[in-house]
Amino acid sequence: MAILPRISSPADVRALRPAQLEGLAQEIRDFLVASVSRTGGHLGPNLGVVELTLAMHRAFESPRDTMIFDTGHQTYVHKMLTGRSDFAGLRQRGGLSGYPCREESVHDVVENSHASTALSWADGIAKANELRGHVDRHVVAVIGDGALTGGMAWEALNNIAAGQDRRLVVVVNDNGRSYDPTIGGLAHHLDTLRTTRGYENFLAWGKRTLRRSGPPGRLAYEALHGLKKGLKDVVAPQGLFEDLGIKYVGPVDGHDVTAVEQSLRRAKAFGGPVIVHVITEKGRGYVPAEQDVADRFHAVGKIHPETGLPVAPSRFGWTSVFADEMVRIGRRRPDVVGITAAMLQPVGLAPFAAEFPARAFDVGIAEQHAVTSAAGMAFAGLHPVVAVYATFLNRAFDQVLLDVALHRAGVTFVLDRAGLTGDDGASHNGMWDMSLMRMVPGLHLAAPRDEPTLRSALREAVDVDDAPTVVRYPKGPLPDALEAVDTVDGVDVLARHAGDGASVLVVGIGPMAHLAVEVGRMLDAEGLPTTVVDPRWVLPVPAALVKLAGEHDHVVVVEDGLVEGGVGAVLGQRCAEAGVGVPVQAVGIPLTFLDHATRAQLLETLRLRAEDVAHDVLALVRGPAV
């Protein structure tokens, strides 16, 4: 009889006999492959934590004991064990979130899907438990080896070590990679720690063998025993953690439920901060994922479960254009280098790294370090291109402002997945960048609308050597190329429509330029004279755009960023400063967190479709009766 249908709470997991756990683990993997192949989602990370999650729910009692997952994309198994087994709508509006979600369950705590934060959450909760007298409660934080490359994780560890009586267990889920293989000194340290099992087995064998070999053997054994400390320092340097004052347990086979459960119970009984080092395999039990070296199964779209191949091949996308143009620039410019934060493949820097391995730097999940390191490179004569998802640049705003811009460093930031990304929810929408970057003095920001303008923006960006530049583009396939019919001092004119009514200037920012053209057609159909433009370089606001605004009766700016402090708001300010009295209507994303849904659904909800924008423009120009 199947076990998984009978699991609706952690109590059901704890009630199972140990002999049943292996079968349940296989059922969970079968369910994950079948479900995620239909909806898309984070498959590899969840296949890797099946036994670990089972062991956690057997050793601890959620929600009394708090479980925190960093970054949260590895919580599908946790959801299944806490009564959420309907995955039919995973990452779709009205369905389960792809990350922990407080609205879904009391078992979910941290919703932010940015990495390296779990240990700080755990430290705070453990401190609160101590102050409130909850001495029977534990906090368990699962953090991957990739997330441990983030500086915030080490800030948290430094503070966790100070609370020797706080009941806090850190589970290091060590699979050797985040999106890409984990890099840096920590990765080498964990590689060495993995050999602890070999060290212990070798020492046990030496004891058994040498004790049986008579007096010469005893002398050899004594020599071996004398070398124990030195050997352990070389082969099993867990002192990195223990010297902080945090007890270390491991490494443990993360796919042996019993071994993990026993280790977690030992850590639980200790009564202070403990690190449990668990070795797992990302994509465990699914042959296509196990055999894939590029980690394509970290996050997947709809796939054929038997082969792992996409149901529908992806169209040539924005990231691919960046990848190709970056290599072309690299061939022309030996001073150009690429920097990424543990996302060499996802952001498109892998081809550049393959051709110029000495000029590509993966710094781990450390966006702040990436930006300040880039400032240092610029000072020393290079031109760094820092490629990250737009949402992750939020984490390094101070470094952009004070390390790059203040020092007038020639650093280019390439922001992938800018604007509405949709199904990954609030923390992954890249909607903050333009409002944030407008506050940075001297910064230049380009929002290309198609492949030709992306290529030209990149070439122009790396030619700026005395200020930061930003090139942003959305997630997904490329739209058709949209040629300009004219150019006015660098501002592309995409369409002109004659008419007799109040004239309207429609400004499309980046990928919204195509929507702006459609809005222009709709206003033309209503008899309004309309000019549609794309400034391409939107920050600082071009003087030509202010001049064009003054030649019209109404201006509407359509952008896929925040309305608050966005390009439309800045254009309105610049017009007022120049004495241009034209009203500027800013259309974009409101100041709110957006639930997971498709991009199309979000555009409809936010009234960012062409028909919505045209209707609202007409209402303002002709009055609300229209």
Which of 6-15, 289-298, 397-406 has the weakest average pLDDT? 289-298
CB-based contact 546:580 (threshold 8 Å): yes
The pLDDT value given to residue 231:
37
CB atoms < 10 A from the CB of 618, how many?
A: 18
577 is catalytic: no
pLDDT tens profile 571-624: 999 999 999 999 999 999 999 888 888 888 888 888 999 999 999 999 998 876
564 is in an annotated binding site: no
Rg of the Cα trace of the chain?
A: 28
**CA gap 417, 584 in Å, rounded:** 27
**Can you say how many angstroms the Cα of residue 412 is from the centroid of all Cα atoms in its chain?**
20
What's the mean pLDDT in 517-545?
96
Cα 427 from Cα 408, distance rounded (Å): 30
Q: Is 115 annotated as a binding residue?
A: yes
* pLDDT at residue 563 is higher than 60: yes
pLDDT above 60: residue 208:
no
From 282, 417, 438, 574, the catalytic residue: 282
Distance, in Å, from the CA atom of 602 to the CA atom of 588, rounded to the nearest integer, reads 11
Q: Tokens 């080092």, residue?
A: 277
The answer to whether residue 511 scores a pLDDT higher than 60 is yes
CA angle 448, 521, 532 (to 5 degrees): 40
Residue with tokens 């008579």: 214
Domains and CATH numbers, the chain: 21-193+239-290 (3.40.50.970), 196-235 (no CATH), 318-472 (3.40.50.970), 486-622 (3.40.50.920)
286 has binding-site annotation:
yes
Closest CA to 160 of 282, 248, 258: 248
Degrees to nearest 5, angle at CA 461 with 355 and 506: 130
Q: Residue 540: is the preceding peptide bond cis (ω within 30°)?
A: yes
The pLDDT value recorded for residue 528 is 94
pLDDT score for 494 = 97
Tell me if 48 is assigned to a ligand binding site.
no
Bridge partners, residue 301, by sequence: none
Cα 93 from chain centre = 20
The mean pLDDT of the chain is: 86
175 marked among binding-site residues:
yes
With cut-offs at 50, 70 and 90, classify the pLDDT of residue 313. Answer: low
The pLDDT of residue 234 = 38
Rounded Cα gap, residues 138 and 516, in angstroms = 54
Mean pLDDT across 427-433: 84
Render pLDDT for 41-73 as a digit per residue (tens, 0 to 9): 888 888 888 999 999 999 999 999 999 998 788
State the Cα–Cα distance between residues 523 and 558, nearest whole angstrom: 14
Cα gap 361→48, rounded to integer Å: 27
Residue 240 has pLDDT above 60, yes or no: no
Rounded distance between C-alpha atoms, residue 133 and residue 129, angstroms = 6
Looking at mean pLDDT, say which of 39-48, 75-84, 250-259, 538-547 comes out highest. Answer: 538-547
The answer to whether 444 is annotated as binding is no
Query: Residue 541 in 3-state DSSP?
Result: coil
Q: What is the pLDDT of residue 97?
A: 84
CA 404 – CA 469 distance, rounded (Å): 10
Query: Residue 451 and residue 445: Cα distance in Å, rounded?
Result: 17
Residues 582, 487 contacting (CB under 8 angstroms): no
Catalytic residue among 296, 395, 472, 475: 395
Residue 186 confidence (pLDDT): 52
Q: Does residue 179 have a known ligand-binding role?
A: no
Bridge partners of residue 247, in order along the sequence: 274
Q: Is the dihedral of CA 29, 35, 40, 41 positive or negative?
A: negative
Pairing outcome for strands 554-562 and 504-508 = parallel
Per-residue pLDDT, averaged over 373-383, amounts to: 96
| H-type alpha helices, 44-91 | 44-47, 50-59, 76-81
Structure confidence at residue 191 (pLDDT): 55
pLDDT of residue 436: 94
Q: Is 543 annotated as a binding residue?
A: no
- Please identify which of the residues 51, 367, 451, 559 carries the catalytic annotation: 367
pLDDT at 227: 44
C-alpha to C-alpha distances, 425 to 21, 215, 429, nearest whole angstrom? 33, 69, 7
Task: Name the residue type at position 306.
Answer: E
pTM attached to this predicted model: 0.83
Our answer to whether residue 367 is catalytic in this structure is yes
- Tokens coding 14: 């704890």
- Sheet with 383-389, strands from edge to edge, namely 360-362, 336-340, 383-389, 412-416, 469-472, 444-446, 537-539
Question: If residue 195 lies in a helix (H) or strand (E), which one and from where to where?
Answer: none
Confidence of residue 193 (pLDDT cuts 50, 70, 90): low
Active site residue 79: no
247 has a pLDDT exceeding 70? yes
Least confident of 32-46, 148-162, 292-306, 342-356: 292-306
What pLDDT digit, counting tens, does each position of 338-365 carry?
Answer: 999 988 988 999 999 999 999 999 998 8
Lowest-pLDDT range of 102-111, 197-206, 430-439: 197-206
Distance of CA 471 to the CA centre of its chain: 18
So what's the pLDDT on residue 323?
95
Lowest mean per-residue pLDDT among 159-168, 461-470, 477-486, 577-586 = 159-168
